[in-house]
Amino acid sequence: KNEVEQSPQNLTAQEGEFITINCSYSVGISALHWLQQHPGGGIVSLFMLSSGKKKHGRLIATINIQEKHSSLHITASHPRDSAVYICAVRSIQGAQKLVFGQGTRLTINP
């Protein structure tokens, strides 16, 4: 079993829909990262959080440390949100190592 599991692996939705991507992990962590990989391959860091909730524009990330679970929400989704969203965790023992999920491929249709 992977230390970081994302669901769903693929998600297709219509423009305007509320999107939720889930990330579950099995190790104790000091931080969790959400990243976005564009269709062209470039990767952008969206959030880093260790507790609670963060918001940036239409993106909201939450984390529940006790349940070892994080969610990334996108409100009023738009075709430009189409990308692969990646969850990564830094384990307590992990020095500078991030453990990455396989990613969730999101497609927003107009």
Partner 1 sequence: NAGVTQTPKFRILKIGQSMTLQCAQDMNHNYMYWYRQDPGMGLKLIYYSVGAGITDKGEVPNGYNVSRSTTEDFPLRLELAAPSQTSVYFCASSSHNLGSWDSGANVLTFGAGSRLTVL
Q: Which residues of 15-40 are buried (b: 16+ CB within 10 A; e: fewer)?
A: eeeebebebbbeeebebbbbbbeeee
- CB of 14 vs partner 1, minimal distance in Å: 26
Strand partners, 71: 22, 62
Q: Give CA separation, 55 vs 50, 62, 104, in Å.
A: 14, 9, 19
- CB of 92 vs partner 1, minimal distance in Å: 8
The correct pick among 54, 58, 68, 73 for binding partner 1 (CB under 8 A) is: 54
* Paired tokens of 102: 């396989």
Q: Is 53 in the site for partner 1 (CB under 8 A)?
A: no
* Nearest to partner 1 of 7, 14 (CB atom): 7
Footprint of partner 1 on this chain (CB under 8 A)?
A: 2, 4, 30-31, 33, 35, 41-48, 50-51, 54, 56, 86, 88, 90, 94-103
